[in-house]
Amino acid sequence: MTNPPLPARLRPRAAALGLTPFYGDIHNHSDLSYGHGSFPDALTKAALQLDFVSVTGHAHWPDMPVDDPSVAHIVDFHVRGFAKLKAAWPGHYNVLRGAEAPGRFAVFPGYEIHSNAHGDYTIVLADLDNGPLELADDPGSLKRALVARYGDGALAFPHHIGYRTGARGINWETFDPDLSPFVEMFSMHGCAETSETDRPYLHSMGPVDGRSTMAHGLAEGHVFGVVANTDHHSGFPGSYGHGRMSLLAPAHDRNAFWEAMRARHTTALTGDRVHLLGEIDGAVQGDVIAPRAHASLGIEAVAGGAIDHIDVIRNGALSRRISPELEPALVDPEGGDETLIYLELGWGARGAHHVWDGHVTVEGGVIDAIEPRLRGPEIVSPLEGEDSGYPIPSVTHQGRAVRFTVTAEANPNNTTPTTQGMMLRARLDPGATIRATLCGQEIVLPAERLFAGAKCGNLGPIDSPAWRFHQLPRAHEWQWAGTLALGPLEHGESLYLRLRQRTGQMAWTSPIFVRRPQQG
């Protein structure tokens, strides 16, 4: 099955709380405003690898630098994009309702407002009831307008927060947790967890400022959750590696998803569908708990590849680092040789692309889940390129086989991947074999060969498209569960988890906050 919910045996702590992780992208763009890529196609692509989505329109920029000739080209495409969204907004609800698939795929309306002074905000609406655009010039006015129109059926969150205040980065002085249950701290812009990360901001808008980070907001005592989204501008929500979010909900239900977002029960992800849970006495990420004399932190981690480490960040400092390689602790000790088969497709001569058609089967084992890891074109501005026009990818599970057709562009340089991929979670018997047919090329790989290391090949001579089966991780490498003693928890503390895989894919939970109960 493609993207099934994680089974209870791989999330026992979450299951005991009645929670399941679901995955989405609620900030991305298409030709609905000034992005590329068909808006209806964007919804179709989103359903290939996400449980929920909001495709965002560009709507408003009150302090746009209209009098500066040097940025007239930027002003121009924004003005045209805003007008395009305004005209399309009433009718776009019909497309959203057509894409909604209850129990399988949830769709939320969304748009964004730029601001030099206050930072950019993405607005998400709970319902598909033809609600109008509510525009405002600052967070306070926006909150009043949204509450008057939608009650608690709207939220707005700051995105690409890391730019400096005054240059479309977050303004913590005007941040309001009632308007914004969370902030977007990772996207294709980069990572704004702290001042220094290995995912720097490289866009023309500038680098990360230390006072615009997640760490600074926590140090100032703000209460907020964290998410990641792609902010992709070529009609490909969830584009792999650019940012996704997960939320913890009791069921695949749009109302449950909305309540989870409002409750900050969220995790920011770079790409893989990681399940990462932090729990203290039944409270999970995003919750506010009272101080206590003794506390323990329960951790549950099911990653998309071998875990390098899991960090506990307490009050802005590294409190504990866990290495599953040194401290193995399986989530499911009865899972046997359960592993993650990751096939990556692409490479080849610069500027070229290739249509990959084929299938993968497992002999001597069972495929339990398929996770597509698909990318769209690398576009963040309408001035940077055009929609590729490639066919919508197809990834299906048929019995013991996974069949696919997907177009992969050659990597444009030595640091930017444009490969396409898919991950198969499988339980293998001793002596299992993985067979693949890739564009007519037959590949037979004993599982033991892949447990020892990755295997790659080309479709032709040097510079031809290439494939790679990644090294198979053992179960203790991609899952970990345990309980850590925290000692006393005092008013004003915050605590969150950060997971890093060996591939560089990451996850960050929303913090758990410790606050004295308010006196009523």
Domain boundaries, the chain: 16-271, 337-476
3-state SS of the chain: helix, strand, coil percent to 5? 20, 35, 45
Q: Give the closest residue to 133 by CA, choosing from 143, 118, 123, 141.
A: 123
Query: What distances in angstroms separate CA 474 from CA 13, 271, 325, one per listed residue?
Result: 21, 21, 10
Query: For strand 110-113 and strand 154-158, is the pairing parallel, antiparallel, or unpaired?
Result: unpaired
CA distance 63 to 71: 13
Which bin fits 316, alpha (ψ -120 to 50), beta or left (φ > 0)?
Answer: left
Cα–Cα distance, 395 to 374 (Å, whole number): 10
E strand or H helix that includes residue 380? none
pLDDT at 383: 63
Q: How many CA atoms lie within 13 A of 43 on its CB side?
A: 22
Under the phi-then-psi rule, with left for phi > 0, alpha for psi from -120 to 50, and beta for the rest, what region is 87?
Answer: alpha
Helix, strand or coil for residue 83? helix
Contact 37, 375 (CB under 8 A): no
SS3 state of residue 44: helix
Tokens 């996704």, residue located: 244
Compute the distance between CA of residue 144 and CA of residue 33 in angstroms, rounded to an integer.
25
Euclidean distance between the first and final Cα of the chain, in Å? 50
Cα separation, 391 vs 437, in Å, equals 20
Which residues touch 355 (CB under 8 Å, ≥6 apart)?
A: 391, 405, 406, 407
**From the CA atom positions of the chain, what is the Rg in Å?**
22
**Residue 273 burial by CB count (10 A; 0-12/13-18/19+): exposed, middle or buried?**
buried
Which residue ranges in the chain fall short of pLDDT 50? none
Residue 379 amino acid letter: I
CA 318/CA 76 separation, integer angstroms = 45
Per-residue pLDDT at 336: 87
Report the candidate in 425, 436, 356 with the shortest Cα–Cα distance to residue 393. Answer: 356
Look at residue 6 in the predicted model and tell me its pLDDT: 98
Q: What pLDDT is attached to residue 380?
A: 67
pLDDT at position 399: 77
CB 374 within 8 A of CB 406: yes
Neighbours of 139 (CB within 10 A): 22
491 by DSSP, 3-state: which? coil
Q: 50, 182, 203: which is closest to 122 by C-alpha?
A: 182
Q: Across the beta sheet with 121-125, what order do the strands follow?
A: 56-60, 110-113, 121-125, 154-158
Q: Quick one: CATH architecture of 16-271?
A: Alpha-Beta Barrel (3.20)
Closest of 231, 174, 244 to residue 203, by C-alpha: 231
- The DSSP bridge partners found for residue 29 are 56
